[in-house]
Amino acid sequence: MRRPLRLGVVLAATLVASVAGAAERLALVERATGEKVVPISTAADALGDQLVFSNPLYDADNRAVVGASRGACVRIEVGRWWDCHFTLELKGGALMVAGDYPDEGDAEFAIIGGTGHYAAAHGTLAVHARDAAHSAYDFKVALR
């Protein structure tokens, strides 16, 4: 009778170890070279404006291209917030990202899925502007 219990404990420990080992962290740099605001009116900033982008992603040292960041944001509060949905294309797969982006300060997005190596990925993407001009951003990916 004890044998199945031991086997169950070993299988449960193995499953926990493999799930815990699935956590992954990535450090990337996005260079904001391919962005365009598409206005819906003549106002300088209006509810519903769109920001579309396709930017290269670099390694943590900002030297080698490792992928791309592509997506769109919609202005949801003038002068304060954008609602964004985008994809981080990386070697071996992609991460799907969503969340609100403030005009000022850092942002944290939800990673809501992925493909390839990142299939069924969940976690967070922390974004920090590297300079006042917002010409590049530090991306910190934390997968669970």
Round to whole Å and give the CA distance between 81 and 75. 6
Alpha-carbon distance of 1 to 111, in angstroms, equals: 44
Return the CATH number at 101.
Answer: 2.40.480.10
Amino acid at 141: V
Biggest CA–CA distance in the chain, Å, is: 77
Burial status of residue 8 (CB atoms within 10 A of its CB: 0-12, 13-18, 19 or more): exposed
Print the domain residue range for 90: 24-143
- Report if residue 90 sits inside a domain: yes
Digitized pLDDT (tens) for each residue of the chain, 144 residues in all: 444 444 333 333 333 333 334 589 999 999 999 999 999 999 999 999 999 999 999 999 999 999 999 999 999 999 999 999 999 999 999 999 999 999 999 999 999 999 999 999 999 999 999 999 999 999 999 999
Q: Nearest 5°: CA angle at 67, between 48 and 100? A: 30
Query: Would you say residue 2 lies in a domain?
Result: no
